Structure 1
Amino acid sequence: MLTAGQSGQTGVFLLPAPGLTAHCVDSSPAAFLKDQSSVCSRRLVLDQDCGSLPALSMDAYTSIRLLAGKNQEAAVVPLEVSSVVLRSTDNTETELKLSAGQTVRPSLTEPTLCANVVLKVVYEIRFGPAGELLKASLSLVLGFVREAALPLQQDFQVSYLQEDAGEAVVRHSGNPGYVVGMPLVSGTKTAEGISRSLDPADWLSVPLSSEDQDCLRPSPRRSPLLFGLDSASGCTLRLEDAANCSLVSRLLLDVLRGPRRPPFVASFGNSAVENPLDWVPIKSSFLLEDTPSCSIPVSLHLEIRWTKYGSLVNPQAQIVSVTEVVQTNSSSLLQAPGGGSLQPISSSVSFIPVSAAAQPGYRATPTIDAKLPFDFFLPFV
């Protein structure tokens, strides 16, 4: 893929990757129509490189201008920054609200601590039937780097999605078993089998923590559930907003579950929609009822159990059960612990392996049924 420079010259779209060693090679070109994922490391002198090394700043990745085709006269495809997440020193993540063109640059907050360093870069590029680029988006994860934790590890990913006016392209999360870091495949059961939506808003997801932490803010951003990665997030409910308890309870449940959460999860990453027996239902005993006392959901936890299936040499990840646990506050909200005016609401997901210890199997030793003539050992016997 070609890129356009500020002065009109063309270049190649680069995606850092490890070379002969684990160190990042910034001059590594990204292949077209080939999803790539790499993790590489950088050796830094923190007090010198924190604010001066381009690879640590988000500007190096947001300033890329892709060309729609192979010619220099091709149109420039704008790169949209879809999300910027800040990971704190205790590994909690908060989405940053940045206006168009606004950036966050690395800086030394302490002599041995560099803030706002790029930890993860994810490109998503959409192309048309003729191979021309239509849209490009970028997601970034920024964080803190301590001198004691050097060398720095960075994660780079690029994925390609085809947009077609005809039949939509269905992406799988494994073949057949799930791949760590891929979204959980979910759907709704119908008379013909399983109906699977291609809209990310209809996937299993968790709410992302925001700066204002308000549970009832309109259209909270969500992140899809990724296989094998535990997650936790939360928000707060202002008690003055809980006057209509039944309405707030339904709104909070939609925030925790998602507005259109599908009730089934594929047991494998490529489970066919024609085989409903390959899909696992989400078990939940929670039922929202109108009661005289104010009872709202204060936490939701998804427990996903999976096992290794198949060959001992190449086992495949299979989901065996998904259980939802919802806890409610059955007491009066006005009597919250400590007399505060905020009620914390939390959402979490855990993946629990339930595989038995793998043991190789051996066939029984074959028996030898030899029939010899009666004088075979003559004249020795």
Structure 2
Amino acid sequence: MRTGCLLHVTEGDNCLQLQQAIISAVEGYGIPLYDPNFAEYPKNNRYVAIFGNSDNRKTGDWIEILYKGRPGNDVFQGSECKLSLGANIQILYANTGALANPQAKIIGVSYVYDAPQIILYQCTGALCQPGQPSLSRTVEISTSVTFIDVSDPPVGVEGQYPTVPARLPYDFFYPFTDAAPRQSAASLLVWVGSLLVILNSLL
């Protein structure tokens, strides 16, 4: 998905103010100002829920939005402005849960800003009077959203067949052998052989 808007630029506009206006149009208002001492933006503590019904009281249900290539103070190219005119919002998600009814879970969200480009103010036409503050031109600012599926291939899991333990009493073959307390070696072999045959048929 891609959307955009037009920003009116006049010849007297400051490059830093223009870049800040573009960032505000992309991210919304209330963004932190660039800190030249640390050469970075302070954290603005913006998060996205990983599920649609995430609890706002559970920190594990929310992930922080990352920003890549957010423009700083290096917006001057001589007497011209070198500005980033948009960003691509990349949303990484994965299908989790049951194989028959998977649920989409957001893994990460990142704003990836476009590469800076030089913006030239060109005054053309019969009404063009360089230096007049009322003259302006429009610059298009665009924002696109990309959903990236990072799911692992689904794997079906089957349960193991249950095993039935078979335990027979010590005198189970008593009618076919001598008295249980006085079994001979031959009768004991018959008893063991019969037991192995029965166990083999059960398994």
Q: Deviations over 1:222-272 (max 9, x none)?
A: xxxxxxxxx211223455367311101111111111114761001111111
Residue number in structure 1 paired with 2:88 = 301
Alpha-carbon distance change, 335 to 248 in structure 1, aligned in 2, over 3 angstroms = closer
Once the two structures are TM-superposed, the CA of residue 367 in structure 1 deviates from its matched residue by 3.9
Higher helix share: 2
SS of 2:60's equivalent? Answer: helix
Instruction: Give 1:324's match in structure 2, choosing from 111, 120, 125.
Output: 111
Alpha-carbon contact 2:69-2:113 (below 8 Å) kept: yes
Alpha-carbon distance change, 301 to 242 in structure 1, aligned in 2, over 3 angstroms = farther
Alpha-carbon contact 2:47-2:62 (below 8 Å) kept: yes
Residue number in structure 2 paired with 1:249 = 19
Once the two structures are TM-superposed, the CA of residue 369 in structure 1 deviates from its matched residue by 3.9
Alpha-carbon contact 1:242-1:248 (below 8 Å) kept: no
Once the two structures are TM-superposed, the CA of residue 335 in structure 1 deviates from its matched residue by 7.8
TM-score (norm: length of structure 1): 0.34
The 1-side partners of 2:95 and 2:11 are apart by: 46
- Let me know the Cα RMSD of the aligned residues: 3.0
Alpha-carbon contact 2:70-2:112 (below 8 Å) kept: no
The 1-side partners of 2:109 and 2:93 are apart by: 9
Relative contact order, CA 8 A, sep 6+: which one is greater?
2
Please list every run of 5 or more consecutive structure 1 residues that lacks an aligned counterpart in the other structure.
1-230
Alpha-carbon distance change, 250 to 241 in structure 1, aligned in 2, over 3 angstroms = farther
The 1-side partners of 2:68 and 2:116 are apart by: 16
Alpha-carbon contact 2:49-2:61 (below 8 Å) kept: yes
Residue number in structure 1 paired with 2:120 = 334
Residue number in structure 2 paired with 1:276 = 59
Once the two structures are TM-superposed, the CA of residue 278 in structure 1 deviates from its matched residue by 1.5
Equivalent residues in 2 for 1:339-358, closer than 5 Å: 342-358=138-154
Instruction: Give 1:263's match in structure 2, choosing from 1, 21, 46.
Output: 46
Alpha-carbon distance change, 358 to 322 in structure 1, aligned in 2, over 3 angstroms = same
Residue 288 in structure 1 maps to residue 71 in structure 2: yes
Higher strand share: 1
Q: Could you tell me which amino acid in structure 2 is paired with residue 362 of structure 1? A: E
Q: Deviations over 1:268-295 (max 9, x none)?
A: 1111122112101111133432223323
Structure 1: 4+ residue segments shifted above 6 A: none
Residue number in structure 1 paired with 2:175 = none
Alpha-carbon contact 1:295-1:328 (below 8 Å) kept: no
SS of 1:254's equivalent? Answer: helix
Q: Could you tell me which amino acid in structure 2 is paired with residue 284 of structure 1? A: Y
Q: Percent identity?
A: 28
TM-score (norm: length of structure 2): 0.60
The 1-side partners of 2:139 and 2:145 are apart by: 20
Once the two structures are TM-superposed, the CA of residue 370 in structure 1 deviates from its matched residue by 2.9
The 1-side partners of 2:159 and 2:2 are apart by: 47
Alpha-carbon distance change, 252 to 241 in structure 1, aligned in 2, over 3 angstroms = farther
The 2-side partners of 1:239 and 1:345 are apart by: 12
Q: Deviations over 1:54-92 (max 9, x none)?
A: xxxxxxxxxxxxxxxxxxxxxxxxxxxxxxxxxxxxxxx
SS of 2:85's equivalent? Answer: strand
Q: How many residues align?
A: 145
Larger radius of gyration: 2
Residue number in structure 2 paired with 1:365 = 161
